[in-house]
A and B are shown apart, each in its own frame.
Chain A
Amino acid sequence: MSTSPLMDLRHLDFLLYELLQIEQLTQYPRFNEHSRETFEAVIDLAHQLAETQFLPHNRKSDLNEPRMVDGKVVLIAEIGAALDAFNQAGFMAVLADYDDGGMQLPFVISSVCDALFSAANPSTVAYPALARAAANLLHVYGTEEQKRLYMLPIIEGRYYGTMCLSEPQAGSSLADIKCQAQPQADGSYRLTGAKMWISAGDHELGENIVHLVLARISGAPEGVRGISLFIVPRWRVNADGSRTERNDVTLAGLNHKMGQRGSVNTFLKFGEQGDCHAYLVGEPHQGLAHMFHMMNEERIGVGMGAVQQGSAGYLYSLQYARERRQGRHPDQKDPATPPVLLIEHADVRRMLLQQKCYVEGAQALGFYAAMLVDQALDPDKNVRRESHLLLELLTPIIKAWGSDYALRANDLAIQILGGYGYTREYPVEQYYRDNRINPIHEGTNGIQALDLLGRKAMMQDGAALQALFKRMAASAQQAAQLEGLDGFAAQLLSGIKLAGEVTAATGQRMLAGEARLALANATHYMTMLGHLTIAWFWLQQAMIAQRALPDANAADVDFYQGKLQACRFFFATELPQIKHLAELVGDADQSALAMRAEWF
């Protein structure tokens, strides 16, 4: 049984070493100094820091929102202390090259560490997560000087970073952003405009903040083809790296959020005095493409962050259900008998199983995708190509399905605690509020669904979908040989067929110029393909469990039986839902599209 409030550690080992067999990654030259031993030591340390430095102030952050005092952001002191420990341990540099002082660890290990930190405290981990995203972008597109001045100090934990895309009038539609950049004789730019919703946009945690800002160079084409990416330091920096005067970036206000209150969310104004220095990153007009280069990693991070809130709620409600007694079974009405534990009730078991299926299924998918990122280093061109295709397809699913269903898990955790779950004396209501952002940011789930159906499923004549179906079918073939799993294998195969058919029907409609109709049910498509993918991961887990059971020790017998039962539950109660969803997509149901604004 798990003794960590952050994650079931037996399940984590199962995912990494039994399902994904991540030791294979040490064959790549980049990782060949690593071994299971270092992976375990790193994960262990992350767990230790998460539990002792991040978890204890999760509630306090929620109760003490960041405030603006004399134009400065004031955070509770524990956030800075936790991040100092994080930086000193070297977690800012897990992915970075040895030459840059990094650990050169696989992305999947970094994802596991992030998962532990975000289960402990999603708002505190947002600061280093954003900084690392900025450093990653500079690593790929920055000049040597930009890397030295802005990337290295982030890796060293001295500077923080932000991602400034959204504007008040342009959230989902970045084509409409207005920030302007005027070229200067010295090659730099002067930026003007406003950015909304900027997480970690202003604070005193480090020496400087590196804003990565999307803006239009004057005279640039309209739409997404006219957007460029800029470095805007909060403090200007000399060529020798020393900090000089404040740049013209103003904190215009704070947004007061439902959850994740410890991560400050800001409205920023650039160039109010006409003196906001900005430096182009990469090619002009390629800003959005550059930004999206890192998006797979970021979106896996958001999806997994969501799933980890789901996990925290699942583990909490599981423990609660094992301890609270209430009521009796329907066939035991005698009040003289002691009340049973909540976990004895079939309906409570349903709610626990739903959470287990959503959380553990999505964790399997998320770490699988993280490993696909690492497989970009594979020597075999075909492996690289296929991993890339799969990653493109699976990323929106992790982000959107993961955050939708992790939120359902949080909802069920509250339900299991009953009235207590609805109070602030218990942590599950905060998990729900903290998690509610995840379907919204990094591209709303509605936008993710359009991306999945309209682009990813269609791209290269459906090559990504075919690659996924091929792997699913291979698992089904193996499962068909195992006692008790053959029925699930058949169910998965018919799901693949169905999904293929409705994707083809959608493709036909798009070719016929009916994109609006074809994509009207994109969210249903997301749920369908998400459920099918998660079913595949449950079947894989069940296969491993089935094979391991004969030689398992007592504790593992329970663990593997749990995997098999969760698989049965998912195939009995969840997977069959895709049939209905497939009908809506395949027949291009018009009931929403045909509604009119004036009829509401």
Chain B
Amino acid sequence: MKVLVFIKRVVDYNVRVKVRPDGSGVDTDGVKMSINPFDEIALEEALRMREAGQADEVIVVSAGTSDCQQQLRTGLAMGADRAIQIDTDKPLQPLTAARAFQALVEQQQPGVVLLGKQAIDDDNNQTGQMLAALWGRPQATNAAKIELSGDTARVTREVDAGLEVLDIDLPAVITTDLRLNTPRFVKLPDIMKAKKKPLDVVALDGLVSDAGNDLKIGNWSPPPQRGKGIMVDDVAGLVTELKSRGLL
């Protein structure tokens, strides 16, 4: 069985992002970039499936300019067998990404598709769901535990009310949550091995005919600065204050 893992190149979670003064987006000049942490968890899970003998090939895929080959190489150094870069110089919105991923999924015929539940740059939490719908296969999002058996998977999901357990047929799309696993560190010799593993490049418009984004982004601005706090005398004062602001 093949496992396909989609990984996104995003601004490292340690970086305090700044909005460009002209409001055209977030400043990424000279900023450290990494694999989206949720996607790293997805990749780790795929590697564990292979190590447990449940999968025989792990393929990492990323969409972006050749810059994202850096993250693909990291994925290969972590242990993926091969990599595919979907080449595009446009930032992809979830639906466009899902369409491209669907085309690739149909070419590669994986048994499991893993993605992070969301990317920490835009926090959309949509691509996995859209991909499953387009592909017409089951989905389980926010996975905290995945158990494969034959052609089904039991996925424990983290939901607001606690845990929910789903049995789904494979092939399926599973999106991963924070507590699923702790990704391994790369080993130095594997960095060298990763250089020799196959990395194919396919053009975005070779996968989707109309790769245009459907949403128009107007303007970016930083969140408003936090206002000054006030001191209240007692609980009653606090309640009054909250009510007067329509917060209670």
Instruction: Please tell me if the beta carbons of A553 and B192 are within 8 angstroms of each other in the complex.
Output: no
Instruction: Please tell me if the beta carbons of A33 and B29 are within 8 angstroms of each other in the complex.
Output: no
**From A42, A88, A93, A559, contact of B185 by CB (8 A):** A88
Instruction: Please tell me if the beta carbons of A103 and B192 are within 8 angstroms of each other in the complex.
Output: yes
A184 within 8 A of B: no
Known: A9-B32, A556-B29. A103 touches B14 (CB 8 A): no
**From A42, A85, A559, contact of B188 by CB (8 A):** A42
A252 within 8 A of B: no
Instruction: Please tell me if the beta carbons of B191 and A45 are within 8 angstroms of each other in the complex.
Output: yes
Instruction: Provide the A18-48 mask, 1 if CB < 8 A to any CB of B, else 0.
Output: 0000000000000001010110111001001
* Residue among A38, A40, A42, A556 having the largest count of chain B Cβ atoms under 10 Å: A38
Instruction: Please tell me if the beta carbons of B186 and A89 are within 8 angstroms of each other in the complex.
Output: yes
A554 and B27 CA atoms in complex are apart in Å by 10
B187 CB to nearest chain A CB (Å): 5
Instruction: Please tell me if the beta carbons of B70 and A37 are within 8 angstroms of each other in the complex.
Output: yes
Instruction: Please tell me if the beta carbons of B186 and A45 are within 8 angstroms of each other in the complex.
Output: yes
Instruction: Please tell me if the beta carbons of B77 and A41 are within 8 angstroms of each other in the complex.
Output: yes
**Chain B residues near A41 (CB-CB < 8 A):** 73-74, 77, 186, 191, 194
Instruction: Please tell me if the beta carbons of A3 and B15 are within 8 angstroms of each other in the complex.
Output: yes
B227 within 8 A of A: no
Within 8 A of B (CB), among A271-314: none
A118 and B30 CA atoms in complex are apart in Å by 25
A425 and B29 CA atoms in complex are apart in Å by 35
A91 within 8 A of B: yes
**Chain A residues near B27 (CB-CB < 8 A):** 554-555
**Chain B residues near A33 (CB-CB < 8 A):** 192, 195
B189 within 8 A of A: yes
B243 within 8 A of A: no
B228 within 8 A of A: no
B16 within 8 A of A: yes
Instruction: Please tell me if the beta carbons of B29 and A554 are within 8 angstroms of each other in the complex.
Output: yes
Within 8 A of B (CB), among A179-213: none
Instruction: Please tell me if the beta carbons of A555 and B29 are within 8 angstroms of each other in the complex.
Output: yes
Instruction: Provide the B7-35 mask, 1 if CB < 8 A to any CB of A, else 0.
Output: 00000101110000000000101101000
A556 and B29 CA atoms in complex are apart in Å by 8
A323 CB to nearest chain B CB (Å): 13
Within 8 A of B (CB), among A74-102: 85, 88-91, 93-94, 101
Instruction: Please tell me if the beta carbons of B70 and A45 are within 8 angstroms of each other in the complex.
Output: no
Instruction: Provide the B161-181 mask, 1 if CB < 8 A to any CB of A, else 0.
Output: 000000000000000000000
**Chain B residues near A89 (CB-CB < 8 A):** 185-188
Instruction: Please tell me if the beta carbons of B30 and A10 are within 8 angstroms of each other in the complex.
Output: yes
Known: A89-B186, A555-B27, A556-B30. A42 touches B14 (CB 8 A): no
Instruction: Please tell me if the beta carbons of B189 and A103 are within 8 angstroms of each other in the complex.
Output: yes
Residue of B nearest to A559 (CB): B30
Interface size class, chain B: 20 to 34
Instruction: Please tell me if the beta carbons of B195 and A85 are within 8 angstroms of each other in the complex.
Output: no
**Chain A residues near B186 (CB-CB < 8 A):** 41, 45, 89
A4 within 8 A of B: yes
Residue of B nearest to A553 (CB): B29
A38 and B191 CA atoms in complex are apart in Å by 7
Within 8 A of B (CB), among A98-135: 101, 103
A532 within 8 A of B: no
Within 8 A of A (CB), among B27-83: 27, 29-30, 32, 70, 73-74, 77
**Chain A residues near B15 (CB-CB < 8 A):** 3
B84 CB to nearest chain A CB (Å): 18
Within 8 A of A (CB), among B211-237: none
**From A3, A90, A94, A103, contact of B32 by CB (8 A):** A3
A559 and B74 CA atoms in complex are apart in Å by 28
Known: A3-B15, A555-B29, A555-B30. A37 touches B195 (CB 8 A): yes
**Chain B residues near A91 (CB-CB < 8 A):** 188
A556 and B27 CA atoms in complex are apart in Å by 12
Instruction: Please tell me if the beta carbons of B30 and A88 are within 8 angstroms of each other in the complex.
Output: no
Instruction: Please tell me if the beta carbons of A4 and B14 are within 8 angstroms of each other in the complex.
Output: yes
**Chain B residues near A581 (CB-CB < 8 A):** none
A49 within 8 A of B: yes
**Chain A residues near B73 (CB-CB < 8 A):** 37, 41
A589 and B161 CA atoms in complex are apart in Å by 81
**Chain A residues near B192 (CB-CB < 8 A):** 33, 38, 103
Residue of A nearest to B29 (CB): A553
Residue of B nearest to A554 (CB): B29
Instruction: Please tell me if the beta carbons of B16 and A38 are within 8 angstroms of each other in the complex.
Output: no
Residue of B nearest to A40 (CB): B70
**From A42, A48, A553, contact of B191 by CB (8 A):** A42
B78 CB to nearest chain A CB (Å): 11
**From A38, A45, A88, contact of B195 by CB (8 A):** A38
Instruction: Please tell me if the beta carbons of A103 and B188 are within 8 angstroms of each other in the complex.
Output: yes
A48 and B191 CA atoms in complex are apart in Å by 15
Known: A3-B16, A37-B70, A38-B195. A45 touches B188 (CB 8 A): yes
Please list 24 pairs of residues, one from A and one from B, whose beta carbons are closer than 8 Å in the complex, sorted by A's number. Answer: A3-B12, A9-B32, A10-B30, A33-B195, A35-B195, A37-B73, A38-B191, A38-B195, A41-B77, A42-B188, A42-B191, A45-B191, A48-B185, A85-B185, A89-B185, A89-B188, A93-B188, A94-B188, A101-B189, A553-B30, A554-B27, A554-B29, A556-B30, A559-B30
A residues contacting B by CB (< 8 A) are: 3-4, 9-10, 33, 35, 37-38, 40-42, 45, 48-49, 85, 88-91, 93-94, 101, 103, 553-556, 559
7 closest A-B pairs by CB: A90-B188, A553-B29, A41-B191, A103-B188, A555-B29, A555-B30, A3-B15
